[in-house]
Every structure is written in C-alpha cells, then in structure tokens.
Amino acid sequence: MRFSMASVAGQWSRAVGLCVTVLLFDVAFCRGFVQDLDESFKDNRKDDIWLVDFYAPWCGHCKKLEPVWNEVGFEMKSIGSPVKVGKMDATSYSSLASEFGVRGYPTIKLLKGDLAYNYRGPRTKDDIIEFAHRVSGALIRPLPSQQMFEHVKKRHRVFFVYIGGESPLKEKYIDAASELIVYTYFFSALEEVVPEYVTLKEMPAVLVFKDETYFVYDEYEDGDLSAWISRERFQNYLTMDGFLLYELGDTGKLVAIAVIDEKNTSIEHTRLKSVIQEVAKDYRDHFHRDFQFGHMDGNDYINTLLMDELTIPTVVVLNTSNQQYYLLDRQINNAKDMVQFINNILDGTVEAQGGDSIWQRLKRIVFDAKSTVVSIFKSSPLMGCFLFGLPLGVISIMCYGIYTADTDGGYIEERYEVVSKSEMEAQQQIESKEQQEPRRGESLVPTVQEPKDVLEKKTD
C-alpha cells in the first residue's frame, strides 16, 4: 500500500512537472512572435505595418497585458497577417515613445506608414486582433456584389456604406473614415449592389447597418457626418460597463440603463430588462437619435458614478456628456410606462440631477477620497492602519510635545520670576540693615555739625 501511494505521488509530481514545462514552453513559444524594439525601430518601421505595445516594466496593467500580447503575436503570425507585432520599453526609449505620442502605459498603436492609430478598446486577444485587421486594411473596402454585401452583413454587427459615385459627400465620408476607422468598418458600393429591401430617396447616400435594419444619414437632421457616424457606431441595445459608458460619452446621447442583478431570476429584474429591450427594438425610429439602451449587472459602478445608493432593480438615464442623470418618478410596468418616462425627460418634465458644477466637483473629490479610504480598509485593514494610523500618531505626538513644552516653559519662567522677586526682597533687607548698623571704628555718638563761622576760623 505504501508503494502504491508513493507511486501515485510520483506520477502526480511528474504530471505536474510536465504541465508546468508545457506551460512555460507555450509562453516562451508565443513570446517568440513578439519582437523587442529599440531605437533602430524609428528608421526601419516604415516598410511594414506594426502593432506595438508601449509598456513600462513597473506597470501592473502592462504585466497583465503581456500574456495576451504574446497570444496576439502568435495568432497574427499563424494566420499569415502582414501586421508585425512588437513591444517597446517606453521608459528606456522615452524620446522615441514621445514621438509616437505615448502618454500612458500600456499604449497600443498600429503604425502604418506615417499614420499612427491608437487602440482604445478592451484588452482582449480577439478585440486587439480585430482592431489590427480593420486598421491595417483598406480605409474604405469595396462591395462588388450582393453576395459580398450579405457576407459583410453577417460578419459585422455595425458597419457603414457609401452608395454612389464621386461627390462632395464621398470626400466627407473618406475624411470621417480616416478618423474613425479605429472604431468601425467603412465600405462603398454601387446602387445595383444594394439589397432590394433598402429604399433610398436620393443618391449618393451614407447608411449604417445594425440591429437587423439600417438608417440613412440626413445632413439636415443629423448635422456633421463624422458626428453622426460617432453616434451611430454602437448597437441600439448593449450590455453596459464602465468602459462602454466612457465611450458613449462622445455620442452625446442619453443612456437608458436597466440596473439589475443577472443572477436574480425574480420577475422584477427580468421585467425591467425586457421592457428596455422592447423599447429599444420597437421604438428605435423614435429614439435612436437621442437614446442608447442597455442593461448593467449590479449597481456598484452606477453608485460610484452617481455618488448615491440605488436600490436594484431600477432604471437610470445618464447624460454622460455632462454627468447629469434622471431617476424614475413612476413605476415601470410595461414599455408604455418607459416611453412616457423618456418623453418626459425630453420635454423637461423630469428634473435632472447631478451635473458638472463646482459643487458637484467638490462633492466628487470628497466622495472619491472617502471611497478610497474605505476600500483600503476593506481590502487590507493592516495596511489601512499603517497608512493612516502612523501619520495620525506622529502628528498626535508632535502636538502633545508642543503643548507640554509650552506648559513647562511657562512654569519655569514663572518660577524664575518668583525666585528673582524673593532674592530682590532679601537683598533689600540686607542693604537696609547695613545702612542701619555703624561701620567698624566709628563712634556710636552722632556727629554734631559745627557752626559756619567756626569752620571759617579754622580755615584761616
């Protein structure tokens, strides 16, 4: 029995060792497809397309990105992508990193000729690779047939299409694409390639396809083309998080969010989510210019954003451009109630809360400081006591020392004054006694003053 247990233990240790060896080999293998870049990269890069991670050795987020970046390098190499993957220590080559506009760590850039594109999406392998494919290819991709059009539609959730020939609108479309290619895909097609279900009132036109439908750009109602593309590059209904809300701040839209607990299957939680989805789908023609819809799991981020405690499930409407928000003023039982609530927001009946006033900014500073202290004590009480208890203890000791020093000084000074006064009184008594006692050799009989004429005679 002992032999069998030892044998099992030996096999287990060998298996663990083999797994560790394979893991280390896999990491080293993937790392081999990411090139370490130095100052020579500035002169050698323009002949190729590069996807570069500018990092700092001490940065925690950079260390977290490293294994993902190694997988990106391996994947790009295995699929035969023309994009080369590299990384540069921005602290060792700070002047070169500054030339590329690196301001923080990690910074991911795709370098294509004289152009540099910043990546601002989630730091996952699939999202980074999608970004590299989109930006490294043609700025505007042609759609030569309806089959290709349907293929693109199945592959991409949101994409933009210019339909028509050469025109001033196409020039604006190209300018917008050069700026926003980091976010979405841009295509062009002739009118005969467009599916039959697409109805166009005039040509040329710019369309966005998303949510199993399409919307046509109207210069009179939608304003600037780039601003319209920036607003419409999101699906109408999304699963919200902090990063996505930050991105939605550039759209200028109000964001209606059902704040729920996805693990809670009660009717209240599922009903609010279904109501928001129904409004987003059935009323998209009414609200897609002004509203974005979605749901968020949990209220932690919303509470931090609003500096308040929201009871879930609930609905909150955020204006991410100026930090204002709207809370429910009624019970939401169906889509009709939600539509009425949205209409009241648009006509100003529902009062906006929050904002970016000076008072709100001061409140934000206090709230962030309080949240930081509480989070430190919750995560590590000993560290919290060390960080905040030690300085308070030192300050208390200093204050006590100053107070006691003042008290002792006053006592000493007062005692010195008292002693000095006593000595002065004793000295005066001694002097008075000396004046009263006759000097040695002098007569005790008082001296009698002689008359003035006698004194004159003596002088003669």
Residue-by-residue DSSP string for 353-374: EE-S-HHHHHHHHHHHHHHHHH
Count the domains in the chain: 4
- In order of 193, 299, 373, the CA distances from 361 in angstroms are 53, 21, 19
- Closest to 278 in 3D by CA, of 336, 214, 196, 228: 336
Task: Grade residue 11 by pLDDT with cuts at 50, 70 and 90.
Answer: low
Q: Token digits for 135?
A: 């930006």
Q: Summarize pLDDT for 43-80 with one digit per residue, the tens.
A: 888 788 999 999 999 988 899 999 999 999 999 999 88
CB count within 10 Å of CB 400 equals 10
Q: Are residues 110 and 47 in the same domain?
A: yes
The parent domain of residue 371 ranges over: 360-394
Which residues make Cβ contacts (< 8 Å) with residue 203, sequence separation at least 6?
Answer: 163, 164, 191
Q: Are residues 228 and 244 in the same domain?
A: no
CATH of residue 188: 3.40.30.10
Please tell me the distance from the alpha carbon of residue 389 to that of residue 381, in angstroms, as a whole number. Answer: 11
pLDDT for the residue numbered 28 = 46
pLDDT for the residue numbered 305 = 80
**Per DSSP, which regions of 123-179 are E strands?**
141-142, 159-163
Q: Summarize pLDDT for 25-46 with one digit per residue, the tens.
A: 444 445 568 999 988 888 888 7
8 Å CB contact between 210 and 238: no
Q: Are residues 244 and 175 in the same domain?
A: no
Q: Summarize pLDDT for 205-233 with one digit per residue, the tens.
A: 999 999 889 999 999 989 999 999 999 99
Q: Summarize pLDDT for 246-279 with one digit per residue, the tens.
A: 888 888 889 999 999 988 888 888 899 999 999 9
Q: Are residues 344 and 249 in the same domain?
A: yes
399 is an active site residue? no
In a domain, 99, yes or no: yes
> H or E segment at 260?
strand 254-260
Q: Are residues 330 and 315 in the same domain?
A: yes
Task: Select which of 19, 30, 62, 399 is catalytic.
Answer: 62
In a domain, 25, yes or no: no
Q: Which residue has the tokens 């991410």?
A: 320
Cis ω before 451 (30° cut-off from 0): no
Cα dihedral 236, 240, 245, 250, rounded to 10, equals: -20
DSSP, collapsed to helix, strand or coil, labels residue 314 as strand
Task: Select which of 19, 59, 385, 399 is catalytic.
Answer: 59
pLDDT for the residue numbered 87 = 94
Percent of the chain past pLDDT 70, that is, above it, reads 77
pTM of the model: 0.70
pLDDT for the residue numbered 22 = 39
Q: Are residues 45 and 102 in the same domain?
A: yes
62 is an active site residue? yes
Q: Are residues 176 and 225 in the same domain?
A: yes
